[in-house]
Amino acid sequence: MNKYIWIFITCIASSLLSVFIYSQFAAPEQVVWKRNEGESHYASMVEKLLNYRSNTSVNNSAPTSFIQAAELATPAVVNIRALLESGGGLFGGGTLTGSSGSGVILTPDGFIVTNHHVIDRSTDIKVTLSDKREYKARLVGSDVSTDIALLKIEEANLPFIVFGNSDSVRVGEWVLAVGNPFNLESTVTAGIVSAKGRNINILGGGASIESFIQTDAAVNPGNSGGALVNTTGELIGVNTAIITESGSYEGYSFAVPSNLVQKVIRDLREFNTVQRAFLGVGIQDLDAETAKDLQLPNAEGALINRIAIGGAAEDASLEIGDVIISVNGSKVRSTSELQEYVGRFRPGETVNLEYWRNGKKRFSKVLLKDSNNSTSIAKVRGDELENQLGLAIRDLTKDEKRKLRIQGSIVTSVRRGSVVYDTNMQPGFIISSVNGNRVSSAAEAVQAIQNAYNFLSLDGYYEGEPDLYSYRFKKSE
């Protein structure tokens, strides 16, 4: 019996010893797959795709829901009808034509942004809210170079849109266009941002700023002046133009970036005119060959081809052949982007430029100037209407406002033989409204008169006389 027990123990011990020896000296070989960088990137993309496909029940909500953004933006977008009197004699009798568009309420007390071309030369502007309430609007100011205008209606507690940061908008991002195409009220369309800093040469003029946000959201006649919003309902642009051969939407629409819009309306509210800053340079886009000659890493930037005498660039020692590549840290890819960035500043403000010269990056701090090489904010002098109308005006003093209890501007002189002289208007006349729109300062009066197409009606009072006087005439024969 003992003999068999020992045989059994010996067999067990031999088996355990064999397993131990095998594990130490003959373990299975591990196969390791080594891949290069391209294969690694490809494999990671495959893994992401497989993970996404395996969780389709969670991820099938894309694209983003637009319901909240539409609910925020729609009540703040208005319909605008602008009437224009044309033809007729000295005292009217012409026909009324008009245009329609959209606008965006910016403040609860009734400031509204729209396009200049929507209200251009209009004599009467009507605004209809999304709830059908209708108001007469006053033109605060307008800027041809950016196609932006600012209106005001007298109301409180209005729905309004909050500004977003147009610089943070990315190509491929979802956006909504809200407006009134073909007089179809409160229409919302969706698309993506297809390009930024786009110049389509639609505004004309050497001082125009075209750095549009391009989208494929459907925009048609009547959408002009409406809102371009992101998926959180923030205003990132004002819809302005389309490229079309048929007159209707064909796939591309363009909006003025909100950061530029903010600066323009801030100027219009404060000064009734835009305080435009300039670098004092002529610029052009780069091509691949020029970029190579200048030793640039790519063809992005704005090439200086002219330096204005006495301008901001000359003061900062910039030279012809320099390539501006950033403004205050914002990358400049084209001339249109440079114009937009500089257009956000006023004369007298300073910007930091990064530019390329002789194969090296350089930096310069530039004090911006206006078109007359001045760093001062332009204010109404009062003689802006002298050449055309023979009229000079000024603001009422504080004492005059308190004594007369009236807002407006006072006529200081009327040139003999001028069109205003023929109406028998006398110095001392206080202009309180222009074409039915109230004015409270000389700046507002000058802006309103300059924006009027041809027929003018100046209403107001003389000191000590209770009767309202009205002078009607044509700006030009």
> In 3D, which of 145, 127, 114 has the Cα closest to residue 83?
127
**Would you give the distance in Å from CA 165 to the centre of its chain?**
10
Residue with tokens 């430029």: 353
What angle is formed at CA 312 by the lines to CA 307 and CA 314, rounded to 5 degrees?
45
Tell me the three state secondary structure of residue 29.
coil
How far apart, in whole angstroms, are the C-alpha atoms of residue 28 and residue 169?
55
Identity (one letter) of the amino acid at 366? V
For 338, residues 6+ apart whose C-beta sits below 8 A from its C-beta are 279, 283, 302, 324, 327, 332
How far apart, in whole angstroms, are the C-alpha atoms of residue 168 and residue 175?
13
Number of alpha helices (DSSP H) and beta strands (DSSP E) in the chain: 12, 25
CB atoms near residue 436 (< 10 Å): 12
Q: How many residues can be counted in the chain?
A: 477
How far apart, in whole angstroms, are the C-alpha atoms of residue 430 and residue 392?
12
Confirm if 199 and 245 have CB atoms less than 8 A apart. no
For the stretch 462-469, contacts whose Cβ atoms lie closer than 8 Å and that sit 24 or more positions apart, written own/partner, are 462/426, 462/428, 462/429, 462/430, 463/404, 463/428, 463/430, 469/429
Q: Is residue 147 among the annotated active site residues?
A: yes
Catalytic residue among 102, 142, 211, 224: 224
Q: Which two tokens stand for residue 204?
A: 């004309």
**Would you give the distance in Å from CA 45 to the centre of its chain?**
38
Q: Is residue 41 among the annotated active site residues?
A: no
Tell me the three state secondary structure of residue 423.
helix
Residue with tokens 């930091």: 352
**b/e sequence 412-431, b meaning 16+ C-beta within 10 Å:** eebeeebbbeebebeeebbb
**b/e sequence 351-369, b meaning 16+ C-beta within 10 Å:** bebbbbeeeeeeebebebb
CB atoms near residue 22 (< 10 Å): 10
Residue with tokens 């992401």: 48
Confirm if 375 and 364 have CB atoms less than 8 A apart. no
Identity (one letter) of the amino acid at 227? A
How far apart, in whole angstroms, are the C-alpha atoms of residue 409 and residue 3?
130
Q: Is residue 116 among the annotated active site residues?
A: no
Catalytic residue among 143, 147, 370, 459: 147
- DSSP 8-state secondary structure symbol assigned to residue 120: T
Q: Which two tokens stand for residue 129?
A: 């809210």
How far apart, in whole angstroms, are the C-alpha atoms of residue 269 and residue 150?
8
Catalytic residue among 117, 258, 336, 441: 117
Catalytic residues: 117, 147, 224
